[in-house]
Amino acid sequence: MIKKQLFSPGPTPVPERILLAMAGPLIHHRDPAYEEIFQEVREGLQYVFQTKQEVLVLASSGTGAMEGAVCNTLSRGDEVLVVRGGKFGERWAEICEAYGVNFTPIDVTWGEAVDPAAITKALDANPSIKAVLVQASETSTGVMHPVKAIADIVKKRDGTILVVDAISALGVVDLPMDQWGLDVVVSGSQKAFMLPPGLAFVALSEKAWGFAEGSDLPKFYFNLKEELASAQKNQSQFTPAISLVVGLREALRMFKEEGLENVFKRHGKLAQATREAAKALGLELLAPQSPSNALTAIKAPEGVDGKKLKKNFEDMYGLIIAGGQSQLKGKIIRIAHIGYFQELDIIQAISALELILKEMGYPVELGKGVKAAEEILGAN
Ligand SMILES: Cc1ncc(COP(=O)(O)O)c(C=O)c1O
């Protein structure tokens, strides 16, 4: 028997109580019962985004909200900066390209975080830059970018907004949108929200809504001004993903019950335990300087085929982890600890890592990684 379990940084495991909530009979989205659910969802999202702004709910994957962020705040020919340190940084650039927005990339070595000084320098060199687009957590490399430091730079400039892809960061680390002055924050359901894929979220600051007034890029399905007007009536422009919204209400209740602070602490502890375990086994982290607490990217050691290593997790123990993307294909594995994860889940992943590496001929002292993880997990 093989019990399959998700250890991937999206989709992530869905708690039983959310699955059960979604399994109820379908209600109609024009029914007052739906409007009541949606009102609770709107408030819950403001809690998780730490904002007074409306958090819009879109029926799409996360990329839909990224696209909406671009086509609602910018105009044809605008100039922007894109932090490009992984696959999702590249996605910002691809969206800009598709819409005729001129982007200047700030290329960052995969596995490293952007240096905020590079952003200051680029903004000083071209004061007409309208936006800085960045990932909070770059899921392809397991890097956390210094969002607060970037926000401190951007918020001083009236003509520039900061657009943050927080798809794998929101609900993992503290990212207070209003307090830090983040202008656009994007997230998605299949990450820390513990839901199946299919919902994207986006919130805009007053400054970003001001930009939306002047935006001339084409938009229809992702017209955020229209979506805002509908949301304020507890409705959506088009047919919402009703079952997912019902599941979202349950997820948001779970966030409130645990408390955001505790959610962040839990993710921090699981991430630290995973990193320490990998190091204790003599493995190298891809992002040792600025790691994301959503996932840990570990380099496949010399002589070990990274693709096979990833595959063995599933074939031998049913654990579905992620491998490397693009230039990192076959070179790293990515173990997730985002969303519905607790202490002993990490022990399971580390134990599997030890057993698999041993099977693959890499010298491992069994239990060494587990011990390192337990020392972190058992500490208060
Ligand atoms: C940081 C980040 N940005 C963007 C995306 C794209 O989201 P989606 O696949 O939901 O469109 C992902 C998904 O893995 C992500 O982790």
Residue 223 alpha carbon to ligand 1 centre in Å: 20
- 171 and 144 inside one domain: yes
60 CA → ligand 1 middle, Å: 11
Residue 375: band (very low, low, confident or very high) from pLDDT cuts 50, 70, 90: very high
Mean pLDDT of 30-37: 96
If asked whether residues 295 and 190 sit together in one domain, one would say no
In short, whether 140's Cβ falls inside 6 Å of ligand 1 is no
Task: Compute φ and ψ for 31, nearest 5 degrees.
Answer: -80, 145
Q: Are 82 and 92 in contact (CB under 8 A)?
A: yes
CATH number, residue 34: 3.40.640.10
d(CA 300, CA 284): 8
Per the CB < 8 A criterion, the answer to whether 357 and 42 are in contact is no
Say what percent of the chain tops pLDDT 70: 100
Residue 109 scores a pLDDT above 90: yes
Please check whether residues 231 and 182 belong to one and the same domain: yes
Q: Decide if pLDDT at 327 tops 90.
A: yes
pLDDT of residue 358: 97
Q: 227-271, pLDDT tens digit by residue?
A: 999 999 999 999 999 999 999 999 999 999 999 999 999 999 999
| Å from CA of 32 to ligand 1 middle | 33
pTM of the model: 0.98
88 lines ligand 1 (CB under 6 A): yes
Instruction: Locate the DSSP E strands across 179-227.
Output: 184-188, 200-204
Sign for the pseudo-dihedral over CA of 131, 74, 244, 55: positive
Closest CA to ligand 1's atom 12: 167
Number of domain units in the chain: 2
In this structure, which amino acid lies at residue 37?
A: I
Query: Are both 234 and 369 inside the same structural domain?
Result: no
Query: CA 288, CA 291: separation in Å to the nearest integer?
Result: 6
- Is residue 98 domain-shared with residue 193, that is, in the same domain? yes
CA atoms of 236 and 71, how far apart (whole Å): 19
What's 269's domain CATH number?
3.90.1150.10
User: Under 8 Å CB-to-CB from 83, ≥6 apart: which residues?
Assistant: 89, 92, 105, 106, 108, 114, 119, 132, 133, 134, 135, 145
Task: Answer whether 34's CB lies under 8 Å from 172's CB.
Answer: no
**What angle do the packed helices 62-73 and 224-231 form, to 10 degrees?**
110
Does residue 225 sit in the same domain as residue 212? yes
Domain that holds residue 65: 16-257
For residue 29, give Cα distances in angstroms to 188, 246, 350: 21, 11, 44
Answer yes or no: is the C-beta of 231 below 6 A from any ligand 1 atom: no
Is residue 12 within 6 Å of ligand 1 at its C-beta?
A: no
Q: Any idea of the CA torsion for 366, 369, 373, 378, to the nearest 10 degrees? A: 40
326 C-alpha vs ligand 1 centroid, how far in Å?
15
pLDDT-derived band of residue 380, with 50, 70 and 90 as boundaries? confident
The pLDDT assigned to 326 comes to 95
pLDDT in tens, 144-171: 999 999 999 999 999 999 999 999 999 9
Catalogue the long-range contacts made by 119-128 (C-beta closer than 8 Å, 24 or more residues apart): 119/81, 119/83, 119/150, 119/153, 119/154, 120/153, 122/81, 123/81, 123/153, 123/154, 123/157, 123/160, 126/79, 127/157, 127/159, 128/79, 128/159
Q: Is the CB of 67 under 6 A from ligand 1?
A: no
Judgement on whether residues 248 and 316 belong to the same structural domain of the protein:
no
pLDDT tens for residues 203-227?
999 999 999 999 999 999 999 999 9
Q: Are residues 222 and 269 in the same domain?
A: no
| Cβ neighbours, 10 Å, residue 371 | 13
User: Are residues 357 and 373 both part of a single domain?
Assistant: yes
Q: What is the mean pLDDT of the chain?
A: 98
Structural contact between residues 248 and 199, judged by C-beta atoms closer than 8 angstroms: yes
- Do 194 and 117 share a structural domain? yes
Query: Measured from the CB, is residue 111 less than 6 Å from ligand 1?
Result: no
Q: How far apart are CA 138 and CA 86, in angstroms?
A: 6
Regarding beta strands 143-144 and 137-138, do their DSSP bridges make them parallel or antiparallel, or are they unpaired?
antiparallel
**For ligand 1, atom 2, which residue shows the shortest CA distance?**
167
Asked if residue 44 and residue 62 are part of one domain, the reply reads yes
pLDDT-derived band at 352, boundaries 50, 70, 90: very high
